[in-house]
Amino acid sequence: MNNLNEFYDLIIAGGGPAGITAGIYAARARLKTVLLERGLPGGQIATTEFLENYPGFPEGLKSQEFIKKITMQASRFGLEIFTLSEMTYLKEAMGGFEVALGEKRYLSRAIILATGASPLRLNIPGEKELTGRGVSYCATCDGAFFKDKVVAVAGGGNAAIEEALFLTRFASKIFIIHRRDQLRADKILQEKIFKNGKVELILDSEIIKIFGESKVEGCVVRNKKSGHENRMAINGIFIYIGSIPNTNFLEDILKLDEKGYIITNDELQTSLPGVFAAGDVRKNKAKQVAIAVGEGALASISAQKYLEAI
Ligand code: NAP
């Protein structure tokens, strides 16, 4: 079914913090705007439990509460949010742009891409087969299934360490398996993890296999220095090794960097005038909710200026 009779001023693709903030600004500017989201609003932050470094909340804030609040705020100003299916293309059409989500087509005069990123996979034997059966990319969603169980967390960045800390509420033991001898995570998180009696760090090591009949029963870990392989009994594994930008449908139309992140100028305009990008999908210096929110606001202001000028 086509929606080509509807011509929006602005289409925002992606309902994470960047996209929703762009929507708040656009709705307040009274632009005819629709936000298209492939799943539920929230983006990657929905897979985490808690936000500790977002300004204004000295005690921290539950990620789900944050998503709920910004979505309500956008709706209060009249932002239309459609949760449909995957965006399959973006092209120039009828003096503006056409995007497709599943069967539906939408037209607009400007676009903000805030499609975020998806978790990277380890790509090792057993990972795909046991996903949803002990292999998880979302501690918030699945952590409670591991009460009094032994789990592993793969990765050494902020996400891995924060989510390992979250898992200490449920699991009896958490192994953090990291490929180097130093964690990448912020020092404040490292201090917390070093103090936690349930957590054991396995450094200089990589997980090379996950095994189990119908659910995860263990993994094989190889020490990168000695080459020694250790078969560990675990009930679950949470993989937090970074992410890849959701831009595969944009390769032919926009300038991307070698990793697939969208390249923009200072106004967050992409290589295609009228198309802007914000948040984790953009080539920027750091991935943070506070940064995504700021970029969402800036992309929206830039889109407004663009629309006034054409
Ligand atoms: P990240 O910072 O890129 O860290 C990824 C971790 O996974 C690194 O420790 C990396 O090892 C490891 N890794 C990457 N590929 C691997 C592979 N194939 N096998 C094994 N290990 C692998 O990713 P992230 O933790 O998901 O965070 C993404 C962004 O969000 C970052 O900018 C982060 O600061 C931000 N973030 C911030 C917060 C916060 O401020 N509270 C919370 C969550 C995320 P190396 O260290 O050796 O590269």
Evaluate: CB of 287 within 6 angstroms of ligand 1. Answer: yes
Structure token pair of residue 166: 């979250």
Strands 229-233 and 243-245: unpaired
Catalytic center residues = 138, 141-142
pLDDT band for position 4 (cuts 50, 70, 90): low
pLDDT at 16 over 60: yes
Q: Residue 49: its pLDDT value, please? A: 86
Q: Using alpha carbons, select from 98, 66, 60, 138 the residue that is nearest to residue 274.
A: 98
Ligand 1 atom, smallest distance to 52 CA:
41
The H or E element containing residue 161 is helix 158-167
Q: Which residue has the higher pLDDT, 27 or 1?
A: 27
* 181-204 average pLDDT score: 97
- Bridge partners (DSSP) listed for residue 117: 245
Distance CA 310, CA 308 (A): 6
Report all structural domains of the chain as residue ranges with CATH numbers, in order of start.
3-118+243-309 (3.50.50.60), 121-239 (3.50.50.60)
Residue with CA nearest ligand 1 atom 28: 242
pLDDT digits (tens, 9 = 90+) for 276-305: 999 999 999 999 999 999 999 999 999 999
Distance CA 153, CA 133 (A): 15
Structure token pair of residue 245: 């930008």
* 214-227 average pLDDT score: 98
Ranges of beta strands (E only) in 115-197 are 117-119, 135-136, 150-154, 173-177
Q: Residue 1: its pLDDT value, please? A: 43
Evaluate: CB of 159 within 6 angstroms of ligand 1. Answer: yes
- The residues, any chain, with a CB within 8 Å of residue 297's CB and separated by 6 or more, are 21, 22, 25
Ligand 1 atom, smallest distance to 123 CA:
18
Distance CA 239, CA 300 (A): 33
pLDDT digits (tens, 9 = 90+) for 76-110: 999 999 887 788 899 999 999 999 887 889 999 99
Q: Which residue has the higher pLDDT, 236 or 7?
A: 236
pLDDT digits (tens, 9 = 90+) for 115-156: 999 999 999 999 999 999 999 999 988 999 999 999 999 999
- The residues, any chain, with a CB within 8 Å of residue 286's CB and separated by 6 or more, are none
Dihedral angle computed from the Cα positions of residues 67, 73, 76 and 79, in that order, rounded to the nearest 10 degrees:
-70
Evaluate: CB of 224 within 6 angstroms of ligand 1. Answer: no
Residue with CA nearest ligand 1 atom 14: 241
Measure 220 CA to ligand 1 centroid, in angstroms: 21
Measure 28 CA to ligand 1 centroid, in angstroms: 35
Evaluate: CB of 288 within 6 angstroms of ligand 1. Answer: yes
pLDDT digits (tens, 9 = 90+) for 229-254: 999 999 999 999 999 999 999 999 99
pLDDT band for position 5 (cuts 50, 70, 90): low
- Bridge partners (DSSP) listed for residue 151: 174, 236
- pTM (2 d.p.): 0.89
Distance CA 103, CA 87 (A): 10
How high is the mean pLDDT of the chain? 95
Mutate which of 158, 244, 291, 293 for ligand 1? The one with the most ligand atoms within 8 Å of its CB, which is 158
Evaluate: CB of 156 within 6 angstroms of ligand 1. Answer: yes
DSSP 8-state assignment for residue 269: B
